[in-house]
């Protein structure tokens, strides 16, 4: 009985020793890890900015056919006829189907107010189109042409960059390079060692497209003088990044 108790005591002692040794190893490893990587709370955050400017390569025009007639059916028929003529002109001018998009179609009753009563005098149909013009040199001519073809509203022309994501990627790279340069300078000035990146954030600012108003809504045919030459200017994409490094 006594021998059995002594063996159990010895086994228990060895278990305690093993637990103590493993705990000591884990503690030493944790201390070494902290020594090599530093305190998780010790970080250095740096920011960088990247800018890319480019001339717009497309013009986007918002145009519409606006007609009024005694009945909704007659107004729709007239609007459809003019819309077909406008689209036919655009295709003849070299605009692809994918660059002609219907952006709106509305039917509204029109009222006259007499002696406190409203009486429907007819119906107005407005069909809106958004047209992407890739040949910038033809933009003015095409805007003149759609009015002649039947459009009576040209609300705006916007000069845009067709693939802004490519420029945004370039601006991001410049921003990261700027942040890394600042990090290297601060590392030398502060006398610290940089560890791994623990966080990254990005924000951007895309300069709105350059816009020009051209014409307004009219009940009948809109007569406009030739659209003047419009400078496209430049668009700018700005990306700001913040990189946070762990200090070692």
Check residue 248 and give its pLDDT: 84
Query: What pLDDT score was predicted for residue 224?
Result: 45
Q: Which residues of the chain have pLDDT under 50?
A: 5, 9, 17, 19, 21, 24-25, 27, 31, 34, 37-38, 217-226
Same domain, 71 and 188: no
pLDDT at residue 10, as a whole number: 56
Quote the number of domains for the chain: 3
CATH number, domain containing residue 225: 3.30.70.2970
Residue position matching structure tokens 């290297």: 184
CA separation, residue 62 to residues 43, 45, 101, 124 (Å)? 51, 45, 10, 19
pLDDT for position 11: 54
Strands (E), 57-167: 58-69, 100-114, 117-133, 153-160
The DSSP-derived string for 221-235 is: PPP-PPPPP-----E
What was the pLDDT predicted at 91? 96
Model pTM score: 0.63
In angstroms, the Cα distances linking 57 to 42, 158, 172 are 47, 11, 21
Shared domain check, 87 and 2? no
Check residue 217 and give its pLDDT. Answer: 40
**What's the pLDDT tens digit per position in 61-105?**
999 999 999 999 999 999 999 999 999 999 999 999 999 999 999
Instruction: Judge if 94 and 139 occupy the same domain.
Output: yes
CATH code, domain carrying 188: 3.30.110.170
Q: Kindly state whether residues 141 and 20 are assigned to the same domain.
A: no
Residues 215 and 200 in one domain: no
Domain that residue 7 falls in: 1-37
Q: 146 and 221 share a domain?
A: yes
In this structure, the answer to whether residues 117 and 181 fall within a common structural domain is: no
Question: What pLDDT score was predicted for residue 207?
Answer: 59
């Amino acid at each position: 009985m006594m021998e059995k108790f002594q063996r159990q005591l010895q086994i228990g002692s060895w278990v305690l020793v093993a637990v103590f040794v493993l705990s000591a190893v884990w503690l030493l490893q944790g201390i070494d890890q902290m020594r090599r990587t530093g305190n998780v709370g010790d970080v250095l955050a740096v920011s960088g900015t990247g800018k890319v400017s480019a001339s717009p390569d497309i013009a986007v025009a918002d145009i519409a056919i606006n007609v009024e007639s005694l009945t909704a059916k007659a107004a729709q028929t007239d609007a459809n006829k003019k819309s077909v003529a406008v689209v036919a002109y655009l295709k003849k001018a070299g605009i692809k189907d994918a660059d002609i998009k219907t952006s709106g179609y509305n039917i509204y009753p029109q009222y006259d107010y007499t002696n406190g009563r409203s009486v429907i005098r007819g119906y107005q149909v407005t069909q809106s189109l958004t047209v992407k013009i890739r040949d910038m040199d033809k933009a003015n001519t095409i805007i003149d042409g759609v009015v002649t073809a039947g459009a009576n509203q040209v609300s705006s022309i916007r000069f845009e960059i067709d693939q802004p994501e490519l420029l945004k990627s370039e601006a991001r790279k410049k921003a990261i390079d700027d942040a890394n340069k600042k990090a290297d300078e601060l590392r030398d000035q502060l006398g610290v060692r940089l560890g791994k990146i623990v966080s990254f954030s990005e924000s951007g600012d895309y300069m709105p497209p350059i816009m020009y108003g051209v014409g307004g809504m009219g009940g009948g045919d809109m007569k406009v003088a030739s659209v003047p030459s419009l400078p496209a200017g430049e668009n700018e994409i700005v990306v700001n990044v913040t990189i946070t490094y762990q200090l070692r």
